[in-house]
């Protein structure tokens, strides 16, 4: 350990650039330096910002002239710590990831300000107008095979290789450590890095990852089919009714009534949504109709596909009965319906994403009616989508063998990607690796954290924990997270390793993490 700390100290001396920032403009990375097929890459702009960071932008040329380029941004600090962080995207990507302010890291821990070179891309397409509310980019790009494969996995490797070449040109050497950091689709991309390109990465932070992308979209489709059954639509008032009822029944099961349901298992044992049934089962204010109760129960249960998709024939239930619609939740089942139009599949987020995946990646037909899609009738198309986009493999042997470390985290009230999804992946890894798993992976569950929302939206210094693990071999245990909401007052909580959860001690300051202990 002493030798590791000495090596860390010696390696921490900042490295100075060997070239002027402006001299990078026009720099070309030839195709043979990129590990997957391209026609090379070129830097189109390189300008130093007021903080002295050289901001580099450019594009990677596709093999197919009809495919879009992969646009990238690389941020090169003047005082470089010799390390780099690739930052993932979100949704269907299609926007340039700057890499300057990754979500859920403390604001005073921006990687570039701490000496990391950072980079990201648009994944090889620019988002379009498929969603009139602008919530996610459309997936029409996937009708071009190369663009689809770039989004599905190839852009990770291509962008990484170009960034390393640019760093070598600027600093005279490539990074001695390279990490991947991402959430949602970006977390999925982190698992792509670990599974498909393990020789390139020393560590990964994956927060609520959409790793089994194909099954996620089909589960969203299933969710929509339940929601749009006659009389089953759950309006914002109805989802809030459910959320308030869950919190009222379950909030104190962790020892503290604070709006956060931490003891989810106990909550599931005592809360029954059927208690909200309207008299006679007809819809009315302040209660749920029979159809709405049935929809809520169905959505909370696993989706069964009737076939295997990326190694599993089910997808975990959504946390609608676990406190997902309590205070602070905005990422619910639906968007505001279009004025003058009754709710349709276009108004539910789960279907909004699924509709794109089904039409452009599975049916391969922009005019296809997604609500009629049955996976068992399109087995080959579903398998092809999974082959290109999914990162569901439990085989992390190569990543582990090179010393790679993985931090995986999910929130209990995520209604964009349910926490049961990450739990299922962790359980598959546990089956494969047994007692060896904690040697390279730690999995955390954050009560009250949604997809950036919820009663306890977290700020977590995960990159520093990962870096210390890689550099010193000191494995992280229970972490501490901060409530990042404007009215959270900076309260802190333990971030416990699954399946543990934070229990209040009954006497300490409820705003401090040391007043809680991780309980079984």
pLDDT digits (tens, 9 = 90+) for 455-513: 999 999 999 999 999 999 999 988 999 999 988 889 999 999 999 999 999 999 999 99
Same domain, 372 and 470: no
In a domain? residue 292: yes
256-270 pLDDT, tens per residue? 999 999 999 999 999
Q: Taking 60 as the threshold, does the pLDDT of residue 342 lie above it? A: no
Pairing of strands 117-121, 70-76: antiparallel
Same domain, 298 and 368: yes
Longest dimension (CA), the chain: 77
Same domain, 511 and 428: yes
451 is catalytic: yes
* Cα 389 off chain centre by: 14
Q: How confident is the model at residue 376 (pLDDT cuts 50, 70, 90)?
A: very high
* Torsion angle of C-alpha atoms 149, 425, 445, 107, degrees rounded to 10: -20
- The pLDDT value recorded for residue 234 is 87
Same domain, 463 and 411: yes
29: containing domain? 1-175
- The pLDDT value recorded for residue 9 is 43
Q: How confident is the model at residue 16 (pLDDT cuts 50, 70, 90)?
A: confident
420 is catalytic: no
Locate 121 and state its tokens. 């891309």
Same domain, 49 and 160: yes
Catalytic residue among 123, 385, 451, 462: 451
Q: Is 15 left (phi over 0), alpha (psi -120 to 50) or beta?
A: beta
In a domain? residue 328: yes
The domain boundary residue, chosen from 389, 409, 426: 389
Q: What is the pLDDT of the chain when averaged over all its residues?
A: 91
Using CA atoms, how far apart are residues 412 and 261, in angstroms rounded to an integer? 8
Same domain, 227 and 98: no
Same domain, 289 and 431: no
Percent of the chain with pLDDT over 70: 91
In a domain? residue 185: no
List CB contacts of 340: < 8 A, sequence separation 6 or more.
Answer: none
Question: Within a 13 Å sphere around the CA of 158, how many CA atoms are in the beta-carbon half?
Answer: 32
Domain count, the chain: 3
Q: How confident is the model at residue 333 (pLDDT cuts 50, 70, 90)?
A: low
Q: Annotate 167-233 with three-state secondary structure.
A: HHHHHCCCCCEEEEEEECHHHHHHHHHHHHCHHHCCEEEEECCCCCHHHHHHHHHHHHHHHCCCCCC
Same domain, 227 and 372: yes
Using CA atoms, how far apart are residues 156 and 391, in angstroms rounded to an integer? 12
Mean pLDDT over 264-280 rounds to 97
Q: Taking 80 as the threshold, does the pLDDT of residue 330 lie above it? A: no
Q: How confident is the model at residue 351 (pLDDT cuts 50, 70, 90)?
A: confident
Catalytic residue among 93, 131, 414, 483: 414
Q: How confident is the model at residue 95 (pLDDT cuts 50, 70, 90)?
A: very high
In a domain? residue 303: yes
Same domain, 144 and 247: no
Q: How confident is the model at residue 332 (pLDDT cuts 50, 70, 90)?
A: low
Q: Taking 50 as the threshold, does the pLDDT of residue 339 lie above it? A: no
Q: Taking 90 as the threshold, does the pLDDT of residue 296 lie above it? A: yes
180-189 pLDDT, tens per residue? 999 999 999 9
Is the Cβ–Cβ distance between 203 and 402 less than 8 Å?
no
In a domain? residue 192: no
Same domain, 351 and 398: no
Same domain, 417 and 519: yes
184 is catalytic: yes
Which residues are paired to 414 by β-bridges?
none
Same domain, 371 and 423: no
Mean pLDDT over 398-423 rounds to 96
List CB contacts of 23: < 8 A, sequence separation 6 or more.
Answer: 46
* Torsion angle of C-alpha atoms 78, 459, 466, 198, degrees rounded to 10: -90
> How distant, in Å, are the alpha carbons of 116, 227, 267, 476 from that of 464?
11, 42, 33, 10
Catalytic residue among 121, 138, 161, 184: 184
480-495 pLDDT, tens per residue? 999 999 888 899 999 9
Q: How confident is the model at residue 100 (pLDDT cuts 50, 70, 90)?
A: very high
The domain boundary residue, chosen from 389, 409, 425: 389
Closest CA to 405 of 478, 470, 479, 461: 470
């Amino acid at each position: 350990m002493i030798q590791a700390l000495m090596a860390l100290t010696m390696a921490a001396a900042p490295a100075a650039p060997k070239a002027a920032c402006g001299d990078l403009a026009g720099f070309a990375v030839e195709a043979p330096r990129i590990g997957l097929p391209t026609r090379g890459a070129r830097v189109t702009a390189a300008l130093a910002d007021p903080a002295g960071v050289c901001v580099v932008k450019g594009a990677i040329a596709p093999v197919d002239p009809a495919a879009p380029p992969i646009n990238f941004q690389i941020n090169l600090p003047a005082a470089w710590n010799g390390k780099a962080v690739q930052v993932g995207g979100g949704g269907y990507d299609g926007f340039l990831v700057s890499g300057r302010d990754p979500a859920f890291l403390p604001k005073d821990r921006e990687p570039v300000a701490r000496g990391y070179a950072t980079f990201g891309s648009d994944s090889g397409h620019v988002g379009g107008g498929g969603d009139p509310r602008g919530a996610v980019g459309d997936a029409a790009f996937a009708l071009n095979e190369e663009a689809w494969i770039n989004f599905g996995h190839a852009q990770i490797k291509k962008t990484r290789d170009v960034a390393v070449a640019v760093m070598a040109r600027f600093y005279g050497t490539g990074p001695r450590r390279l990490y991947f950091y991402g959430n949602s689709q970006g977390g999925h991309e982190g698992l792509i890095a670990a599974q498909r390109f393990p020789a390139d990465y020393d560590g990964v932070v994956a927060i609520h990852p959409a790793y089994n992308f194909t099954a996620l979209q089909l589960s969203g489709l299933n969710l929509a089919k339940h929601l749009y059954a006659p009389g089953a639509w759950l309006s914002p008032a109805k989802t809030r009714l459910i959320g308030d009822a869950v919190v009222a029944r379950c909030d104190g099961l962790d020892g503290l009534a604070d709006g956060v349901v931490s003891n989810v298992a106990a909550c599931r044992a005592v809360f029954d949504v059927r208690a909200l049934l309207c008299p006679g089962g007809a819809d009315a204010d302040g209660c749920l109709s029979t159809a709405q109760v049935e929809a809520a129960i169905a959505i909370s249960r696993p989706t069964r596909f009737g076939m295997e998709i990326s190694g599993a024939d089910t997808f975990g239930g959504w946390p609608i009965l676990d406190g997902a619609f309590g205070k602070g939740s905005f990422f619910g089942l639906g968007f505001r319906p279009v004025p003058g139009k009754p709710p349709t599949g276009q108004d539910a987020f789960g279907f909004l994403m699924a509709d794109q995946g089904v039409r452009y990646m599975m049916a391969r037909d922009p005019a296809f009616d997604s609500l009629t899609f049955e996976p068992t009738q399109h087995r080959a198309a579903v398998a092809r989508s999974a082959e290109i986009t999914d990162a569901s493999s439990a085989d992390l042997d190569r990543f582990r063998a090179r010393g790679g470390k993985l931090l995986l985290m999910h929130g209990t009230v995520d209604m964009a990607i349910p926490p049961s999804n990450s739990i299922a992946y962790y359980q598959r890894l546990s089956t494969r690796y047994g007692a060896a798993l904690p040697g390279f992976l730690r999995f955390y569950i954050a009560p009250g954290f949604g997809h950036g929302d919820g009663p306890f939206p977290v700020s977590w210094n995960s990159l520093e924990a990962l870096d210390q693990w890689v550099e010193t071999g000191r494995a992280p245990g229970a972490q501490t997270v901060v409530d990042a909401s404007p009215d959270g007052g900076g309260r802190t909580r333990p971030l416990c390793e699954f399946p543990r959860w934070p229990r209040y001690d009954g006497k300490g300051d409820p705003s401090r993490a040391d007043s809680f202990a991780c309980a079984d």
